[in-house]
Amino acid sequence: MAKRKTKYVCQECGYESAKWMGKCPGCNQWNTMAEEMEAAAANQQRYSGGIRSTSAKPESITSIESREEPRMTTNMKELNRVLGGGIVPGSLVLIGGDPGIGKSTLLLQISSQLAGKGLPVLYISGEESTRQTKLRADRLGVKADLLYVLSETNLYDISRQIEEIKPSLVVIDSIQTIFREEVSSAPGSVSQVRETTSELMKIAKTSGVPIFIVGHVTKEGAIAGPRLLEHMVDAVLYFEGERHHTYRILRGVKNRFGSTHEMGIFEMKEEGLREVMNPSEIFLEERAEGAAGSTVVASMEGTRPVLVEIQALISPTSFGNPRRMATGIDNNRVPLLMAVLEKRVGLMLQNQDAYIKVAGGVKLDEPAIDLAVAVSIASSFRDQPTKPDDIFIGEVGLTGEIRRISRVEQRVQEAAKLGFKRVFCPAKNLEGWNVPEGIEVVGVNTVQEALDLGVSR
C-alpha cells in the first residue's frame, strides 16, 4: 500500500508546500497554510485526470459541424440576458455573493420556474435541511411537483441521485460543503473544492445536465477557494448589492456562451426577487433638481445602456493633505481628473477635499464616465448646477481632450427614451449614425468646452 504523505496548502490561493509557513509565498497572506494528506498514486491517476486511453482523434476545424446550442429559458428575462440567452445544457455556472444577499432565493425561484414547465429539477442543499428549504419555498410560493430537494454533502451520493432522477437542472448550494471521500482534507479546503468541482464538470459535460453551484466569498469580495475554480466553470456570476437595500445586481464576469459584463437588476421583495426591467428610472428617481455637483452619465453594462447619477462634493480641506474619496468608481481616477481640471481648466482644487459617489450602489469601471465625473467636480466647486436634462459621456485624456467612446448611439437612445434633452459627447462620435428625435447631441473636443456649455460660471 502506498505511503500517504502530508503537505501544506494555502486556503486562499492553493499554493502547496512540503513544510508549514506562516506567510504564503503565493498570495502573501498570513496563517492560511493548512495540513492536508496527499492521495495515493493510484487514486491520483483515477480521480485527478490521469492519462487514459481514448478513441477520440483530432479533427480539422473546417470539418466540425457548427450548430447553435439549445437553451432553457426561465421567466426572468434579466437572468436570461446575463447568461447570454438562457441556460446552456451541460454548462457549469458559478454564482458568488455575500451571505444573505439572496443567492439561494434566486436559485430556488429559477428551479421552481423550470419545474413548473415540466422539467425535473434537483436542488441539493449542503447547508440546510429539507425542512428549512421547504420553509423558504413556502415563503416564495413555490409549488412544483417536479422540484426535488436533497440535503446531502457526499459527492458520490449526489452523483448517484443525478443518475436516478435524470434532472434537467441541478443546483448545488454550496460547493464549500461538498466533499469527496477519496480526498482526506476537510470540506471547503482547496483540495476538496478543486476535486468536487472537477467531478461536477465531468458530470455536466457527459450527461448534458446544467449545474449551478453557489460559492462563498471572502471578505475582499472574491469567491473563496482556489482561483482555479473560476477557470474551470463555464460562467461566473456575482450577486451584488447592499444587504440593507432592496436592489440586487447580478453581474456576469465570465461567460463562455455569451457576452461578459452583462448586468441584471432585481428587487428583493417579501415574496422573493422581482426583476427590474428599466433600471435607469430606479437610479434616477431620487435625483434632486438644481443641486450643484450632480450629473447623469449613460454607462454601458454589457449590451445595455444604464443612466446613473454621479454626485460630487468639493469643500475646503481642514488638513495638510486634502482627502480624495470615491464610491462606485476607481479611487485612483478622482485625483487624475482633478489634476486635469487644475492644469487644463484652471480650477484651484489642490486645497479641496473631494468626495465622489455613484448613486444607487452601482459600480462603474469604463472610461466613458470621465467627463461626467469631471463636470460634477467643477459644478460642485463653482456651486453652479448643470441643467437637469443634460447628460455627459466621454473619456478625458491627460491633455484635457475628450476621446472617442463606444456605442454612443445606444446611450443617446436610452437618454431620449427617459426624456433627456441634451447629450454632451465626443465630437469624433457624431458621424455615422442618426440622432433620435427630441434630443440634441453636442459634440465637444475638450473639457473646457464642455464646462463652458454645460456649467455656468
Give residues with Cβ within 8 angstroms of 54, minimum separation 6. Answer: none
- 305 annotated ligand-binding residue: no
- 97 annotated ligand-binding residue: yes
Q: How far is CA 415 from CA 79, 306, 309, 367, 369, in A?
A: 24, 9, 13, 19, 15
**Hey, what amino acid is at 279?**
P
- 126 annotated ligand-binding residue: no
- 101 annotated ligand-binding residue: yes
C-alpha cell at 199: 467531478
- 102 annotated ligand-binding residue: yes
- 225 annotated ligand-binding residue: no
Distance CA(188)–CA(134), nearest Å, equals 25
Q: Go through 216-248 and write b for each residue having 16 or more CB atoms within 10 A of its CB, e for each that does not.
A: bbeeeeebbbbeebbeebbbbbbbbbeeeeebb
Distance CA(11)–CA(354), nearest Å, equals 39
Distance CA(36)–CA(269), nearest Å, equals 43
- 100 annotated ligand-binding residue: yes
- 432 annotated ligand-binding residue: no
Q: Is 23 helix (H, G, I), strand (E, B) or coil?
A: strand
Do 89 and 209 touch, CB atoms closer than 8 A?
Answer: yes
Q: Go through 326-356 and write b for each residue having 16 or more CB atoms within 10 A of its CB, e for each that does not.
A: bebbeeebbeebbebbeebbebebeebbbbb
**Residue positions forming the annotated binding site for ATP:** 97-104
**Residue positions forming the annotated binding site:** 97-104
